[in-house]
Amino acid sequence: MEVGILAYGGYIPKSRLQRDQIFKAHAWFNPGLKGLSRGERSIANWDEDSVTMAVESARDCVAPDQRENISAVYMASTTFPFQDRQNAGIVADALNMKSNIQTLDFTSSMRAGTAALTVALQASKGAEGPILLTSAENRMTKAGSALELTTGDGAASFLIGSGNIVARLLGSHSESVDFVDHFRGESAEYDYTWEERWVKEEGYMKIVPTAVNSVLEKTGVSASDITTFCFPVAARNVAAGLAKKLGISEDAVADNLQSNCGEAGSAHILIMLAKALQEAEPGDKILIASFGQGCDALIFETTDAIKTVRPNTGITGSLANGRADSNYNRFLAFNDGLRMDLGIRAEVDKNTGLTTHYRNRYMAQRMVGGECSKCGTAQFPKSNICVNENCGAINTQEDYSFADKIAQMNSFTADRLTYSPDPPAYYGMIQFEEGGRLMSDFADISPDDELTVGMKMRMVFRVKDYDTKRDFRRYFWKAVPVNATQKGSE
């Protein structure tokens, strides 16, 4: 049975740091950065990481009622929050998936995204159900470096399997070459990069054509038949130069999203693929190529289903939902680029009891509450006694997921006394439309935002707090305002 892409989705963080602000801060030392100072780059909020962004893109890709039959969750990233804890498992937990699934992490190369995609396409042929592939990056960059301006944060997800596919794989080819254009050692915080011209001439222009020409030959597809060519490199004119060398039309070269997002590491090729699918017509041939100690090249052909199977928001919706940010110091603070005095309220020990964490994982990571089987009242958190004053039944609570439910704001507070990495801390009471209420933290709120009682809210998976002494982080769900490009299970 033919396998391919069944669904796709994406997520770009809301905040977009203006690059000219980065340049202004470093012009005294490196005026050469001016050439990179146009446009904006996406930045993850303080409570976002590669796992939370992967979850959000996966929710954009797969509706709650489609998750029951998923047989595996693969995650690709070079910026996993945990070195020894399966990050794909956290994603599966946040999506409230069953436990009898396979979870795998892919890492250590900018090709991790396409490697995971290739494996998912191969594995899905014998899998019991579709495979969810997600990739996300939140790369740390050294202040004043070129990477600080050209990098961005984001995620993309794909559901891989057989059935009503939106794009079929025509063929793939991989070249493994230990060409080290950059690297990050075991104890290093930042990437070490080499000279750009050498990387272009000896790497991109020699290794990529070998892989692409091989996949074109395998599939019998002519270079002139390629509708969209995706190559995720920040350097200007590289993708266009490759297209010219390969015989691909200049018009087929996809926007690398450098002007409004930045390069999101191993996830960027999948972000570009998700955007290409969102803009594709039936019969389009999409060539993607990723570079990192070799090259992966894959060709997809879209089907008639591309017209009807759409993400809730997608990459285009996420890009449109951006908010300009000119506070470079806040970006540095979020990414440990500044050593700040956080005040005594930040000195509380955040040690997480792993026994308590495990017992409460359904509530905390899956946002599963309860619904009374006697009267139908929903409540969060789940308890032994129904909260309905006219019921009060004991031991009648059944699992009830709140993560994809829409709520309305009943109250809100902006608190500058409690510690928050991005003050003020916003929180308030939210009431779910189908029952249940919660005193919730709010996320992605700016002091310029107008909050009103009654406005619709949706839940997002975020970092609750960081235990910096033990390098652990706890996740929970927070409320954000619903906007025109975002939907829940309304």
Compare 20 and 485 and report the one with higher pLDDT.
20
* CA nearest to 34, candidates 15, 51, 20: 20
Residue 485's pLDDT is what? 41
Q: What mean pLDDT is reported for the chain?
A: 95
Using pLDDT thresholds of 50, 70 and 90, give the confidence band for residue 98.
very high
3-state helix, strand, coil in the chain (%, to 5): 30, 30, 45
C-beta separation of 213 from 221 below 8 A: no
Residue 400 DSSP symbol: E
Using pLDDT thresholds of 50, 70 and 90, give the confidence band for residue 1.
confident
For 432-481, the pLDDT digits (tens) are 999 999 999 999 998 889 999 999 999 999 999 999 999 999 999 999 99
What average pLDDT does this structure show over 22-33? Answer: 96
- Helix, strand, or coil (residue 431): strand
Residue 87's pLDDT is what? 98
Is pLDDT above 60 for 487?
Answer: no
Residue type, 72: A
- Tally Cβ neighbours within 10 Å of residue 117: 30
The kind and range of the H/E element at 147 are helix 146-150
Residue for token pair 């899998």: 127
* CA nearest to 133, candidates 160, 94, 164: 160
Question: d(Cα 399, Cα 421) in Å, to the nearest integer?
Answer: 33
Residue 490's pLDDT is what? 36
Residue 340's pLDDT is what? 86
Compare 346 and 410 and report the one with higher pLDDT.
410
* CA nearest to 88, candidates 68, 106, 70, 105: 105
**Which CATH class for the 3-334 domain?**
alpha beta
Is pLDDT above 90 for 258?
Answer: yes
What average pLDDT does this structure show over 221-226? Answer: 98
- Helix, strand, or coil (residue 154): strand
For 179-208, the pLDDT digits (tens) are 999 999 998 999 999 999 999 999 999 999
Give me the DSSP letters along 159-215.
Answer: EEEESS-SEEEEEEEEEE----SEE--TT-SS-EE--HHHIIIIIIHHHHHHHHHHH
Using pLDDT thresholds of 50, 70 and 90, give the confidence band for residue 346.
confident
C-beta separation of 435 from 453 below 8 A: no
Residue for token pair 């991109």: 204
Q: Provide the residue ranges of all domains of the chain, joining segments of one domain with +.
A: 3-334, 406-490
Virtual torsion, Cα 253, 256, 257, 258, nearest 10 deg: -130
Q: Residue 75: CB partners within 8 Å, gap ≥ 6? A: 51, 54, 87, 88, 91, 103, 104, 105, 106, 116, 133, 134, 135, 136
C-beta separation of 271 from 154 below 8 A: yes
Residue 474's pLDDT is what? 96
Tokens of 380: 């969060």
Residue for token pair 């946002």: 367
For 53-84, the pLDDT digits (tens) are 999 999 999 999 999 999 999 999 999 999 99
Question: d(Cα 420, Cα 346) in Å, to the nearest integer?
Answer: 8
For 38-61, the pLDDT digits (tens) are 999 999 999 999 999 999 999 999
Question: d(Cα 215, Cα 213) in Å, to the nearest integer?
Answer: 6
Using pLDDT thresholds of 50, 70 and 90, give the confidence band for residue 85.
very high
Residue 167's pLDDT is what? 98
What percent of the chain clears pLDDT 70, i.e. is strictly above it? Answer: 99
Residue 99's pLDDT is what? 94
Put simply, whether the predicted model's pTM sits higher than 0.75 gets the answer yes
C-beta separation of 148 from 275 below 8 A: no
C-beta separation of 382 from 369 below 8 A: yes
What percent of the chain clears pLDDT 90, i.e. is strictly above it? Answer: 93
C-beta separation of 101 from 71 below 8 A: yes
Residue 457's pLDDT is what? 97
Question: d(Cα 360, Cα 351) in Å, to the nearest integer?
Answer: 15
Question: d(Cα 313, Cα 13) in Å, to the nearest integer?
Answer: 12
Residue 484's pLDDT is what? 42
Residue 488's pLDDT is what? 43
